[in-house]
A and B are shown apart, each in its own frame.
Chain A
Amino acid sequence: MALLDRSEWYDIARATQWTFQYVPEEEIFPEGHSGSEGISNEVWSTYDEPYKVTYREYVDVQRQKDSGVYSVKAALDRLDMYAKADPGWISILKLHYGAVSTVEYAAALQESRYVRWSKAPGMRNMATFGMLDEIRHAQAQLFFAHEYVSKDRQFDWSHESMKTQNWGVLAARHFFDDMLMSRDATSTAIMANFAFETGFTNLQFIGLASDASNAGDFTFAKLIQSIQSDEARHAQLGTPLLQILIENGQKDRAQRLIDIALWRSWKIFTILTGIPMDYYVPLEHRESSFKEFMEEWIIDQFARSLNELGLDKPWYWDILIRDLSEHHHGQQLGTWSWRPTLWWSPAAGVSPEERDWLEEKYPGWNKTFGKCWDVLTENLKNGHVEKTIPGTLPVICNMSNLPIVGTPFTHLKDHPWEYGGRLYHFGSEVDRWIFQQDPERYSQHKSLIDRFLSGDIEPADLGGVLAYMGIGVLSEGGGDAHDYSWVDKYRSIEAKVS
C-alpha cells in the first residue's frame, strides 16, 4: 500500500466540530460574526464544498502556478512591453493595480473571518486556502505593479490608493466595507464569494486577460488568468452555504444579500472593467464589448446558477439589462471630463473609428453620449482644452458613491430620499432601495459632495478638493492618455471635407 487517496481521509480532517464545555457557544461564535442563527450545528457540519483540495495539493499546485507566472514575468521584462504599449493600456494597468492590489489583501482578512467564525468546519478549512489565495493576489499584483513605480509616480497608487480620500476610492471603500469587511461570515460569503466572485471577477480577470494578450501584455494576462484560477476555486465557498440557508428557511435572507451584492458589484465594475474594455483597450485589440461580457458572465451564467439554486433573478433585472448599454458610457464621460481627479490618464476612446465601433456595439450611442463628446471634441479641435474640464463637481450617489450619470435626453434622473432630515441622492431606484433596506447602516456616510458642502474639505475650492483626494500629493492627476492626438483625425476629416 502506498499513499492514501484524498477521499479516504478528507472527511476526517473536516470533522472538527465539538461541543463547548468551558465557554458558552455564543462567546465563541457571536452572532454578529458568525451569522449562523437558526441553523443547528448538525446542519453546519453537513457543509460540503464542491471543490476539494488538501494542504499537500495546495502548496504543490500553488508553487507551480507562481513559478509559471513569475517566470513569464522574468522572461518578458526584457522585452520592455511598457515602452511599447499604447498609453491606454498603461492607464488600464494603473487603474487596475490601484483599485485591486490592496483590496485583495482585505479579501485575505475576509477569508480569515470564515476561518474563525464560520460554524461550518468544511468552510473553515477551505477558507484557510482562500485566505492564502488572497495574500497571493495582493502580493503578486503589488510585486508586478512595483516594476513600474520608477517609471511613473502614479503607480504608487497601487500601494497607497485605499488610504486616500480619492473619489474612486471612497466608492470602492464604501462597497468593499459593506460587502467584504463589516458583515457576519455567512452573509459575507454569500455576497463576496457567491455574488461578487462567481459573478464579477470573471469580467476583470478573464475578460481583461484576453484583451491583455491581444495588446501584447502577456505578463499581465498570465498573472490575472492565474489569479482567476484561484478565484474560481474559492468563489465556490458560497454555494453550499446558500444551499444550507435555502433548505433551512432562510431563502429570503439569501435572496436579499445577493440582490444587494450583485447591484453594488455591477456599479463598481462599470468603472473597473466597463470603461477600460470599451474605451481604453486599443480598438484593434478588443475581444468583446463590456456588454457582451456582461451578457455572457452575468446575464446568462450567473442567472443560471441562481436558477439552479432555486433563487430568483433580482427584482431589478430589467433595470440591470437596460443599464448594461448605458451606465458605463456615462461614467466614461465623467472620468474623462474630471481626469485631473484620477491617478491615471483616461483614454477618450472616441476617435472616428472608435465611435463607429461604439455605435455598432451600442446602437444609439451617437445620438446620446456621442452628443456630449461632440461638444468636447469641438472644443479640442479649436484648441480649447480648458473648456473640456468642468468647473464644478458632479453630484454623487449616496450608495455607489459614483457620479449620478445617465443617458443624455433619455435617462438622467436623481432618485432622492429624505431621511432623518437629510436629503440623500441616488443614481437609481436600486441604489435607493439598498439604502432603504438598512438606513442606519448607510445614513451617516458622507459622499465627497457632502464633505465638500459641510466644510470637511479645506480650502473649499477645487484645488482643495484635489489635494483632499491625494492629487498633487501622492502623484499628479490624469490628463488625456493620448495627449489629444486622436483629435487630429477629426481635423483631417474636416480638412478633406472643406
Chain B
Amino acid sequence: MTEAVIDLSPLKTWSHLAKQRRKPSEYEIVSTNLHWHTGSSQPFDVDPEGFMNTWYREYRDNSPVTHPDWDSFRDPDEIVYRSYNMMQDGSETYVDGLLDQFSEEGHDSGLSASWLTTLQELYTPGRYLLHGAQMASGYLVHMAPASTISNCAAFQSADCLRWVSRVAYRTRELAIAHPELGYGETERQMWEQLRAWQGYRELTERALACRDWAESFIAVNVVLKPTIDECYWRAFEVSARRAGDSLCALLTEAALRDSERSRRWTVALTRMMLNEPANVPIIKGWVQKWTPLSDAAIQAYSKSLPDNPGAAEAAVERVRAFHQEIGI
C-alpha cells in the first residue's frame, strides 16, 4: 500500500453543496443531507430481516408516494435550532407576560360558571389532543426520508409540547381559582367519554396508527393539525371572546403563530409531492380518506360550543380552504 497522492483541493463548503455555486446559508450547512440510513435496501447494518429494517423498508422506502430527491426539500422558514430557541423564547416571554398580567388582575375568579364548565369540558382536556399531535410529529421525525423534513417535524413536535404545557398550566390556574370544580382531575374522563371529543379522539388515534410516512404526514399535517387549529383553537377562541375570556383568546392567537409556521412547510412539502404526477391520485385519495374524520371531529366538538352558531361550518370551510391552497 502506498500513501494516497491524489490531489483533492479544499472546497468552500461541503462537497454536496459546492455544486450550487453560491455561498450556502447556515440553514443549508447544518440541515441538509444528514440522513445516513437512506438509499440502501437495508437501512440499518444489523438484523437485516428484523423488525426495524422491515418497518423502514415497508413504510418509508416503499411508500407509494415517491420523489427522486427528497433531500431537495427546504423549510420555507429555514429554521435552525438556535433560531428556533431565540424565536420561541421571545414567544414564551410574551405568553408569560399575558399569564402574569391576567393573574394579577384576578382573571379566573371573574369567569362565569357556565364558561368554567365549558373550559373544563372543551379546553383543558385538549392536552391529550395536543400530545397526540406531539407524538405523531415525532413519528415523522424518524420516518421522513430527508433531514430537512425531519427537522420541521421535530420543531412541530416541540411546538405541540409547548401548548400541552400551557394548557396544563392554565388547568392548574383554574384549579387554584376554583378548587371545587375538579380541574386537573377530570380531563382524561372528558377526553375519553365526552361526546364532543370523540371525533378528535378517533382522528388522533387513527393518525397515530398510520404507518406509511407520507400518509402519516398527510394525516397529521394536512388533516389533524389544521383540524386542531380551526376548531379546538379558533372556534373555541370565538366562544372565549364572547364569554369575556380574553386570556384564552390571546393565548390561542399565540398558538396559531406556531401553526402558521407548520402550515408553511406543510404547503411546501405537499406541493413537492404533488409535483410528481404519479403522487397526485394517492395524495388526493388520502385527503379524501382522512377528511371525513376531520369533519366529524369538528361537528362533534362544535355542537357544544356556546354562543357560536355556525362554528362547525366555518371550521370545515377553513380546513377546506387550506386544502385548496395546497392544491388538493
**B3:A340 contact, CB within 8 angstroms:** yes
In the assembled complex, B48 has its CB within 8 A of some CB on chain A:
yes
Nearest residue, chain B, Cβ from A29: B208
Number of B residues contacting the other chain (C-beta, 8 Å)? 91
Number of A residues contacting the other chain (C-beta, 8 Å)? 100
Q: Mostly helix, strand, loop or mixed at chain A's interface?
A: helix
B136 to nearest A CB, angstroms?
7
A125 to nearest B CB, angstroms?
6
In the assembled complex, B104 has its CB within 8 A of some CB on chain A:
yes
- Give the chain B neighbours of A142 by CB distance below 8 A: 29-30
Give per-residue flags for B278-308: 1 if the beta carbon is below 8 A from chain A beta carbons, else 0: 0000000000000000000000000000000
- A18-B188, A108-B154 are contacts. A23–B1 as well, Cβ < 8 Å? no
In the assembled complex, B184 has its CB within 8 A of some CB on chain A:
yes
- Give the chain B neighbours of A477 by CB distance below 8 A: 3-4
**A476:B88 contact, CB within 8 angstroms:** no
CB pairs A–B below 8 angstroms (23 shown): A13-B164, A28-B205, A54-B165, A55-B158, A59-B88, A62-B81, A62-B85, A105-B35, A109-B142, A112-B141, A112-B150, A124-B131, A125-B164, A139-B30, A146-B13, A152-B10, A178-B45, A181-B37, A339-B3, A389-B3, A441-B47, A441-B50, A474-B15
- A13-B164, A156-B14 are contacts. A135–B86 as well, Cβ < 8 Å? no
Among B1, B84, B171, the most chain A Cβ lie within 10 Å of the Cβ of B1
- A56-B165, A477-B3 are contacts. A63–B15 as well, Cβ < 8 Å? no
In the assembled complex, A409 has its CB within 8 A of some CB on chain B:
no
Interface residues of A in 104-160 (CB under 8 A from B): 105-106, 108-110, 112-116, 121, 124-125, 127-129, 131-132, 135-136, 138-140, 142-143, 146, 149-153, 155-156, 159-160
Q: How far is B192's CA from A338's CA once the two chains are assembled, in angstroms?
A: 63
B237 to nearest A CB, angstroms?
21
Nearest residue, chain B, Cβ from A137: B81
Residues of A within 8 A of B (CB): 1-4, 8-10, 12-13, 15-23, 27-28, 32-33, 54-56, 59-60, 62-63, 66, 70, 102, 105-106, 108-110, 112-116, 121, 124-125, 127-129, 131-132, 135-136, 138-140, 142-143, 146, 149-153, 155-156, 159-160, 162-163, 170, 173-174, 177-178, 181-184, 338-340, 385-386, 389-391, 440-442, 444-445, 462, 466, 471-472, 474-477, 479
- Give the chain A neighbours of B201 by CB distance below 8 A: 18, 21-22
- Give the chain A neighbours of B100 by CB distance below 8 A: 2-3
The 8 Å CB contact of B141, one of A15, A131, A475, is A131
Give per-residue flags for B248-276: 1 if the beta carbon is below 8 A from chain A beta carbons, else 0: 00000000000000000000000000000
Residues of B within 8 A of A (CB): 1-16, 26, 29-31, 33-37, 43-48, 50-53, 55, 80-82, 84-86, 88-89, 92, 95-96, 99-100, 103-104, 127-128, 131, 134-139, 141-142, 147, 150-151, 153-154, 157-158, 161-162, 164-165, 168-169, 171-173, 176, 184, 187-188, 191-192, 198, 201-202, 205-206, 208-209
Q: How far is B48's CA from A131's CA once the two chains are assembled, in angstroms?
A: 26
Q: How far is B127's CA from A54's CA once the two chains are assembled, in angstroms?
A: 15
- A153-B10, A183-B52 are contacts. A389–B15 as well, Cβ < 8 Å? no
Nearest residue, chain B, Cβ from A17: B188
Among A15, A340, A445, the most chain B Cβ lie within 10 Å of the Cβ of A15
Q: How far is B128's CA from A28's CA once the two chains are assembled, in angstroms?
A: 15
**B154:A112 contact, CB within 8 angstroms:** yes
A132 to nearest B CB, angstroms?
6
**B36:A162 contact, CB within 8 angstroms:** yes
**B89:A63 contact, CB within 8 angstroms:** yes
**B202:A22 contact, CB within 8 angstroms:** yes
**B82:A445 contact, CB within 8 angstroms:** no
